[in-house]
Amino acid sequence: MLQDEKGKTVFSPQIKVPATYMRGGTSKGVFFNLEDLPAQAKIAGKARDALLLRVIGSPDPYGKQTDGMGGATSSTSKTVIISKSRQQDHDVDYLFGQVGIDKPFVDWSGNCGNLSAAVGSFAISSGLVDASRVPDNGIAVVRIWQANISKTIIAHVPITDGEVQETGDFELDGVTFPAAEVQVEFMDPADGDGSMFPTGNLVDELALPTDVIASGNVKATMINAGIPTIFINASDLGYTGAELQDDINSDAEVLKRFETIRAHGAVKMGLISHIDEAASRQHTPKVAIVGKACDYISSSGKRVLSTEIDLNVRALSMGKLHHAMMGTAAVAIGTAAAIPGTLVNIAAGGGERESVHFGHPSGTLRVGAEARCIDNEWRVTKAVMSRSARVLMEGRVRVPGDTLS
């Protein structure tokens, strides 16, 4: 915004930035090729954050993101930046930004497992994967470096006549229409800088204010695999684990209690030093409640039977109960289920397992995990799940020209 020689305000025109709007799993986001970003936004910092906030339509005190590409939920307030990989034996680098809805911040602290399913497709279609690695027909194996958490993800992308195959008959609960299946492998998903269990325990007593829980503490499994996650028995909080979104999201006091649990758990996990810091780190950690398998009706009206699942899990993202399940949280669920003694494993019936089938608000999901105890330390080699991805729109997204100034 400038002034002309007569002092009249002159507004700068909009700028156009090449972008692709994609669904990956049960999430949607705006994808960018790093080389297409304005010069100021090619490097991490205020200019990049300002661009992504304006693209999504944040901060929006109305909580609707009407003036942007966001959908006013944690699943749709997302951005992705892809570039040729700087890492050996990888095809692309993938950077994920979770954009705040009503607050002016972009959280770079974790990955989005759902959008990970769209990264390989975007990379191939954008010419970022060497042509020799893409078959005319078959499966292209895309090696992705997840730059937020420094981990490898392998996407198995179906190819037909040299193009990414997006349509198909694979159905994913939480997504209305079928599409082509994309298998995603999260390699060595545990935190590489410390123990997969930051406290050293499979189950902790998490101290909480008595207005959150009368006893002043609650049992919790705190794990860093896929994404830092705090698991709590649903029954300890007065739930069954079969709740739908409105059962929790309609009560502001309940959401406040979950946020308090998340903040105290984040301190216990060493992610922040004081609970007040949780407000600026909304993407991680996640909080989830687990319950034994039981019959329930999903949000689509589909009946889920206890005989079809091992347990129920409900997880919160960005302060609200997620409509399905975050992909990274699914990695944490699969990993924790594979380790005897965690609350997730106990809810699933205990014992050793290499996969788990759990219920979520929109239906069910199966995830596999390979976990081993080596020198009294649990390690997970990979977690695997199937998702799908599809381009919704491609072209150029526009933002006011003074966004980066």
pLDDT the model gives residue 193: 62
Q: Is 335 helix (H, G, I), strand (E, B) or coil?
A: helix
Architecture of 14-189+390-400 per CATH?
Answer: Roll (3.10)
CA distance linking residue 300 with residue 48, whole number of Å: 38
* From 196, 269, 318, 326, the catalytic residue: 326
Strands 227-233 and 303-304: unpaired
pLDDT the model gives residue 58: 98
Q: Is 352 helix (H, G, I), strand (E, B) or coil?
A: coil
> Residue 144's closest CA among 136, 156, 134, 158?
156
- Domain ranges for the chain: 14-189+390-400, 204-383
DSSP for residue 278: G
Contact predicate 12/401, CB 8 Å: yes
- The CATH H-level (homologous superfamily) assignment of domain 204-383 is Diaminopimelate Epimerase; Chain A, domain 1 (3.10.310.10)
Q: What's the number of CA atoms in the CB half-sphere (13 Å) around residue 274?
A: 2
* From 22, 69, 112, 222, the catalytic residue: 112
> Residue 332's closest CA among 373, 272, 288, 267?
288
Token pair in block for residue 176: 């209305």
Q: Which residues of the chain have pLDDT under 50?
A: none
CA distance linking residue 327 with residue 113, whole number of Å: 4
pLDDT the model gives residue 331: 96
CA distance linking residue 121 with residue 220, whole number of Å: 37
CA distance linking residue 383 with residue 362, whole number of Å: 21
Token pair in block for residue 201: 């325990």
Q: What's the number of CA atoms in the CB half-sphere (13 Å) around residue 37?
A: 25
CA distance linking residue 315 with residue 59, whole number of Å: 24
pLDDT the model gives residue 8: 80
Integer-rounded Cα radius of gyration of the chain: 21
CA distance linking residue 200 with residue 399, whole number of Å: 47
Is residue 326 flagged as an active site residue?
Answer: yes
pLDDT the model gives residue 168: 98
With 0-12 / 13-18 / 19 or more C-beta atoms within 10 angstroms meaning exposed / middle / buried, residue 177 is exposed
Is residue 294 flagged as an active site residue?
Answer: no
Q: Do domains 14-189+390-400 and 204-383 have the same CATH topology?
A: yes
List of residues 6+ apart from 194 with CB closer than 8 A: 224, 270
Omega cis (within 30) before 285 = yes
Alpha-carbon distances, residue 102 vs 65, 273, 287, 318, 350 (angstroms)? 8, 24, 20, 11, 41
Token pair in block for residue 276: 């007040």
Number of CB atoms found within 10 A of residue 59's CB: 16
Scanning 32-87, the segments in alpha helix (DSSP H) are 46-56
pLDDT the model gives residue 12: 87
DSSP for residue 209: -
**Biggest CA-to-CA distance, the chain:** 78
